Structure 1
Amino acid sequence: MIEVSEVSVVADDVTLLAPVSTSAQPGEALIVRGRNGTGKSTLLRVLAGSRTPSSGTVQIGDAAVSERDPRFRRRVAVMIGLPPMAPDLTLLDHVALVAATWFDRREDSTARANEVLADLGLRTLHARFPHELSSGQTQLFGLALVLVRPFDVLILDEPEQRLDPEHIETVVRVLRSRRDGGATLVVATHSDVIADGLGDRMLTLEAAA
């Protein structure tokens, strides 16, 4: 599903990502680790099609790696930072709206939204507005906005941010279900719990020499 060959990113003579090669198959989770500044987020942006590599090649399935390609957008879901949130929509409004862009029937999108909120422990908060959430609840809500849609590949940058240990375990459980359902996951993380509980393959990035 994912093949990365000698990909690097250089900007203004600064190496943001040293050459790296890796791969991941359907039903596998690739965990990306490394100190801050080693290029974890940069690699994820390359995989997400929002950053062009300076060298090397990236292949994700048979679609062009470009966020402007509809086939690519259908295949790949991404969370790098929190998604946009509207202050006057409830959690359920948000998640159902995203689902409605992917599912034909309103009943399907509403059911899917409720299912994802329940999976992440947010079902009782469905009528709240984003500004009424704690920082950890906001992080889980951001994940719900990504997980509610169909995907073959899921790319996440530090999903453990703002979460206490109990909620990190919840995220591991939910992500494991997506992986076991056949999705390919790429997760950059500093969390040993996520790495140990989810990872089939490990990629550790090093700073450029």
Structure 2
Amino acid sequence: MIEVNDVGVIAGNVTLLAPISTSVQRAEALIVRGRNGTGKSTLLRVLAGARKPTSGTVRIAGAGVIERDRDFRRRVAAMIGLPPMASDLTVLDHVLLVATTWTEDSTAAAELTHGVLAELGLDSLDGRFPHELSSGQTQLFGLALVLARPFEVLILDEPEQRLDPDHVESVIRALRARRDAGATLVVATHSTSLADRLADRTLLLDAA
């Protein structure tokens, strides 16, 4: 599903990502690990189409990475940092908006919305506005916005940030369910628990 061939990123005189090659099969979870500054987030941005590599190539489902391409956007979902949030929309409004945007059936969109919120333990908070959430709740809310749309490839940067162990467990279950349903996952994480429970393979990045 994903082919990375000698991909590197340099900004000025700084190496953000030393050249690497790897591949990820369909319905496989690749965990990306390494110390801060080794290029984990940079690699994810390249895969998501948010940053062009200085060298090498990436292909997803046999096609190049083009963020503006409709097929690419439908195929690939990513959370690298928190997504935009509107101050005057509730948690439910946000997630339902995403689900409705990607699903023509309004009933299916509503079912998906409530299912994702319940899955991440946010159903009791669906009437709150973003500024009323704790940092951990905001992290889960951001993940809900990504999971409320269709995708074949899911790219996540440290989804465990700001979460207590119980909520990390909820995230692990949610991600395993997507992988088991056929999605391909690339997840950068510092969580040993998440890595051990989710990884089919691990990519360890070293300092450049």
In the alignment of these two chains, the number of paired residues is 208
Match of 2:69 in 1: 69
Distance 2:54 2:172 in 1: 33
d(CA) in 2 for partners of 1:63, 1:101: 24
Shift of 1:67: 1.0
CA distance in 1, matches of 2:63, 2:12: 30
* Within-5 A mapping of 1:11-26: 11-26=11-26
Residues in 1 aligned to 2:52 and 2:131: alpha-carbon distance in whole angstroms = 34
Which residue is equivalent to 1:123? 123
What per-residue deviation string (whole Å, max 9, x for no partner) do you get for residues 54-113 of structure 1? 111111003330111111000000000000111111111000000111100211111111
SS, match of residue 138 in structure 2: helix
Stretches of structure 1 that go unaligned for 5 or more consecutive residues are none
Which residue in 1 is equivalent to 2:140? 140
Unaligned runs of 5+ in 2: none
- 1:153 corresponds to: 153
Partner of residue 190, structure 2? 190
Contact 2:58 2:64 in 1 (8 A): no
Q: Aligned pair 1:58/2:58, yes or no? A: yes
Secondary structure in 2 matching 1:101: helix
Matched residues in 2 for 1:69 and 1:108: separation?
25
Instruction: Give the corresponding residue for 1:113.
Output: 113
State, as a whole percentage, how many aligned pairs show the same letter. Answer: 71
Deviation of 1:13 (Å): 1.8
Structure 2 match to 1:102: 102
Three-state SS of the structure 1 residue aligned to 2:45 is helix
Inter-partner Cα distance in structure 2 for 1:58 and 1:81: 22
User: C-alpha root-mean-square deviation of aligned residues, in Å?
Assistant: 0.7
Q: TM-score, normalised by structure 2?
A: 0.98
Q: Which residue type is aligned with residue 163 of structure 1?
A: L
Spell out, residue by residue over 1:168-195, the C-alpha distance to the aligned partner (whole angstroms, 9 max, x if none): 0110000000000000000000000110
Q: Distance in 1 between matches of 2:11 and 2:88?
A: 39
CA shift, 1:49, in A, is: 0.6
